Amino acid sequence: MRIITRQIKISSFQIIIGSFLAVILLGAFLLMLPISSAAGVVTPFSDALFTSTSAICVTGLVVHDTFRYWSLFGKICILILIQIGGLGTITLATFATMMAGRKISLFQRSVMRDAVSADDIGSIAPFTLFILTGTLAVELLGVFFLFPIFFREYPLPQSILYAVFHSVSAFCNAGFDLMGKAQPYSSLTGYTGSILMNLTIMSLIVMGGLGFRTWEDVLKNKFRVHKYSLQTKLILATTAALIFLPAAGFFFLEYQGVPFKERLLASLFQSVTTRTAGFNTTDFDAFSDSGKLLSIILMLIGGSPGSTAGGMKTTTFAVLILNALGTFRHRDEASAFFRRISDGTVKIAATIFALYLTLFTAGAMIISIKESLPLLTCMFEAASAIGTVGLTLGITPQLSHLSRAILIFLMYFGRVGGLTLIYATVPSRRLRNQRLPLANVSVG
């Protein structure tokens, strides 16, 4: 029985990574078509593949300015790819199966469970509806608040497009924008002092990055915090800490001489957007090295499990911190909110951290050597890719094919998840009913 379960699990991971890859290739084909570019020319495959990967992996790194290069058809293709990437291909496939009136098999439920980090397979169908209806409701709410901002500057059709595009991009933590009219990749720098723009985009980013399971738990138990699951409590507490503490850091490290309101809004916005969203209201090139390093750390952490965000996840970061605190206090196990955290969870968190750190560092070093660029600049770009953030210091369009290929792999790895990719590609060789001799190793 255990062997059968393991085979299903591995197959489900293979389907997850395969579905993302298939949609990426389809998106690249569509973006290559002359109708997708504003100039009516065929886009090179490498450029189309990079853009499609960035959209499906809800990253936001681009080799062409979205506003200037792509036609309306191309922009709509990118928007659809962002929505598919944010919701997940498996979620949409499950919904299509339900709409066709077909029964969802046990195997399909297993795939869906792994895709959305669900606890069980019994409630996959209603949970799928919850994801889709919740996403639609939040994105429409975002359109409602963004439309008046754009309508003051643009004609009605363009205002609607801009409101829809940026609402979807923000909720899906993608970071694609259509604001490149002033300068390439200017993002939302023209709205640094707009309270409505800042609060709307930040709210959409946070709501998308908390995870659907978290929202289900909160809506079910409302203000009865004691009934929240440990994961929900960890996600909410860690998210709050990762918003306000780094915001204080940005406030004192950067924006010297900026008026207090703009400085406060910019600090909060950068603290939120660096964890996989990719919008920016200020120029990152003007940041100090300390500000860039803080941004890199936040990009690597990312959002929460089962969300539209990437990164190694807030729960991974929280478990590692709790394990360290437990060690400092001479405790055998990590704990939080009067609950123990299993050693297996700690081991998985450490593995994910090691994977992300290794790939991020190796990618940055290779790009730095290949392109003869400062290591910190390349670390920023690599962290943005593997964290599926999309923030950039402007070097992506000038990178060679090798460096772009590295970023494509990092974006793909960051979206499908490290363990998902490992489980799908590395065969299991578990020793059953056997335990190797125990030995001690000195560390620290």
- The residue that leads in pLDDT, 109 or 352, is 352
Q: What is the pLDDT of residue 13?
A: 60
| Residue 379 neighbours by CB under 8 Å, 6+ apart | 296, 360, 361, 364
Q: What is the pLDDT of residue 281?
A: 85
Judged by average pLDDT, the poorest of 76-90, 105-119, 156-170, 335-349 is 105-119
Nearest of 404, 415, 407, 307 to residue 56 by alpha carbon = 415
Q: What is the pLDDT of residue 2?
A: 40
Q: What is the pLDDT of residue 421?
A: 64
Mean pLDDT value of segment 333-341: 89
What does the pLDDT look like over 116-165, one tens digit per residue? Answer: 555 565 567 778 788 888 999 999 999 999 999 999 989 999 999 999 99
What does the pLDDT look like over 260-302, one tens digit per residue? Answer: 999 999 999 999 999 888 888 888 888 889 999 999 999 999 9
* Residue 324 binned pLDDT confidence (cut-offs 50, 70, 90): very high
The token duo for 195 is 């309270």
Element (H, E) at 341: strand 339-341
Q: What is the pLDDT of residue 12?
A: 56
3-state secondary structure of 339: strand
* Residue 183 binned pLDDT confidence (cut-offs 50, 70, 90): very low
- Check pLDDT > 50 for residue 10: no
* Residue 182 binned pLDDT confidence (cut-offs 50, 70, 90): very low
Residue 417: CA atoms inside 13 Å, Cβ hemisphere, count?
25
Q: What is the pLDDT of residue 5?
A: 42
Check if the beta carbon of residue 126 is closer than 8 Å to that of residue 94.
no
The token duo for 125 is 């169908």
* Residue 360 binned pLDDT confidence (cut-offs 50, 70, 90): very high
Nearest of 291, 355, 286, 343 to residue 319 by alpha carbon = 343
Mean pLDDT value of segment 340-355: 90
Mean pLDDT rounded to a whole number for the chain:
85
Nearest of 254, 247, 242 to residue 206 by alpha carbon = 242
Nearest of 329, 117, 332 to residue 235 by alpha carbon = 117
Q: What is the pLDDT of residue 8?
A: 43
Strand partners, 335: 340
- Check pLDDT > 80 for residue 199: yes
* Residue 4 binned pLDDT confidence (cut-offs 50, 70, 90): very low
Burial of 340 (0-12, 13-18, 19+ CB in 10 A): middle
Q: What is the pLDDT of residue 330?
A: 86
What does the pLDDT look like over 203-256, one tens digit per residue? Answer: 999 999 998 889 989 999 988 888 999 999 999 999 999 999 999 999 998 888
The token duo for 442 is 């000195």
Element (H, E) at 335: strand 334-336
State whether the Cα torsion 384-386-388-394 is positive or negative: positive
CA distance 74 to 268: 32
Residue with tokens 């203000």: 223
CA distance 9 to 305: 18
Q: What is the pLDDT of residue 306?
A: 80
* Residue 7 binned pLDDT confidence (cut-offs 50, 70, 90): very low
> How many C-beta neighbours within 10 Å does residue 7 have?
11
Mean pLDDT value of segment 412-427: 70
